[in-house]
Chain A
Amino acid sequence: MNQTELLKGTLGTIILRLLDEKGRMYGYEITQLVKDMSGGQILVKEGSLYPALHRLEADGLVTVEEVHIGKRVRKYYSPTRRGKLVTKVSVDELFAFMDMIHNLLTAKPQQSLGPAL
């Protein structure tokens, strides 16, 4: 399975957590930060990042602030009050989920649940 597939369900949480830490960020900045923080291992695709940001905006978890730079507009995303609350919850959920996956991938099954064939 490639990295994009693995990231799919967690991207929203990652974005929220970064915005919560940094206060406000624009799209390109987020991709660069993730790249730096993961030592160049995780590259957030633009095709996933912007749809995810727009979804968070539609759900009222982030707000957008537009800054004009010449002819272009830079959109800074920052978490709303509700976004901050949701960040906490979804980060905790993700940790719990990761523990569970870790457990599933490492622990040896104690006994078989089905009848032995």
Chain B
Amino acid sequence: MVPLSELQVETICQRIADGGVTDAGLQQDLLDHYCCHIEEHMAAGISFEQAYARAFDEITPNGMSEIQEELFFLLTFKKQTNMKRTILITGALITLLFIAGIIFKYLAMPGASALIVLGIGITSLVFMPLVFVVKAREKQAVSERVLWGFGSLFAMALAFSVLFKVQHWPGANVLGVSSVIIILLGFLPLYFVTGYRNPLTRVNTVLSSVFIIIGCGLFFTLTMTPKSAHLVDVRTTHNFLRNEQILMHDKAMIEKSVSSKQTDEAEVALNKKIYSLCEDIKSMILRWDAGTDQLHDFEDNHSLIGHHAVPDYLRNNQEAASKLSELGGAVAQYNSTCAPNSSLLAIPQTSNLLDIRNGAPQYTTANALNDLFQIRLILLQNRRAMTASLVMK
């Protein structure tokens, strides 16, 4: 049998590449296959041209790309099965996490939020992307693939927005609104048009579309719009500034009316220490939350007190954490030494800034500032009470 010349092999190779076969391994297989076929026919006495034409007619009458498609299907079939199995396993895991999380939450048991956060994380980062990939491969029509794309994107954004909301992370509302926009402007029109055209799916499409609109309406009812969130922040900032004014006014009045000789020096020293620690922590929280601790012209500077969760900041920022523990120590000392001896008010050490524990994400900047205000107010009241008792004497 005469082997084919290099040029002839080159011609066949080109034809295979032109036929749409891109997989290198398959190209090599087919090249050798065609060459063998052609050589056999040439050995029987026909020309290269005839053998070449016959080979392509006999081996791949419908074109070569079919073989590659079949190869792709066979090779990815197993992957698809594995993917579906992963979807089922993660789906079961998510269900368990959510059920356990909700039960834990209602029983106020520790670990509830960890379970729920894990559930939301797996839903949006593993489950939804996998569902999309599998569905997009199953569906032939481009419109159906896009539909599944929008649907998965919506579910991911919604899951993230809920996660951000419960963790009091910034951006929860933006994510929530984006998810609703995705479903209302992306998913719904496409879903409605494709489903309505088909008489068999028309009724279900209309019903589902109405349900989606009702769902989005309910979501908006529950969510604060950016404008109302801004209004709440403005009110909080105003409130904070008013409290600070009350304190400043009170402090100035007390300092004017009391001479230092008249008062218990130990109490005064501790009182001042706690007061200034409160001021320091207040400034740090403000700088972290609003970007500045000078909020007097906040409306011009657009720096507002937000509703961010402070526990993480107070735990993770070293300076803040050390100030807070110093404050805790000073307050304990104050309560044990000064408060019991007289008519002075004890400073609360529970249900406020001094006992924020892990897993209290609902505790926001506004709560912390309010607690600091309360402590300072008590200190000023005690100073006033001390003065009054001394005057009486």
Contact = CB atoms under 8 A, between A and B. Distances in A.
B6 A46 contact: no
B33 interface: yes
A31 B67 CA distance: 15
Contacts of B310: none
B74 A46 contact: no
Interface string A65-82: 010011111110000000
Interface in B49-93: 59-60, 66-67, 70-71, 73-75, 78
B300 interface: no
A75 B33 CA distance: 10
B67 A73 contact: no
Interface in B234-269: none
A58 B35 CA distance: 25
Contacts of B70: 47-48, 51
Interface of A: 26-28, 31, 46-48, 50-55, 58-59, 66, 69-75
A100 to B, nearest CB: 25
A60 to B, nearest CB: 12
Contacts of A74: 32
A26 to B, nearest CB: 6
Nearest to B7: A71
A51 B70 CA distance: 6
A50 B71 contact: yes
A26 B31 CA distance: 12
A54 B59 contact: no
A53 B75 contact: no
B33 A46 contact: yes
B41 to A, nearest CB: 12
B10 interface: yes
B32 A73 contact: yes
A46 B58 CA distance: 10
Given A47-B60, A69-B3, A71-B9, 17 more contacts: A46-B60, A50-B29, A50-B30, A50-B33, A51-B70, A51-B71, A54-B71, A66-B28, A69-B32, A70-B6, A71-B13, A72-B9, A72-B31, A72-B32, A72-B35, A73-B32, A75-B25
B26 interface: yes
Contacts of B9: 70-72
B37 interface: yes
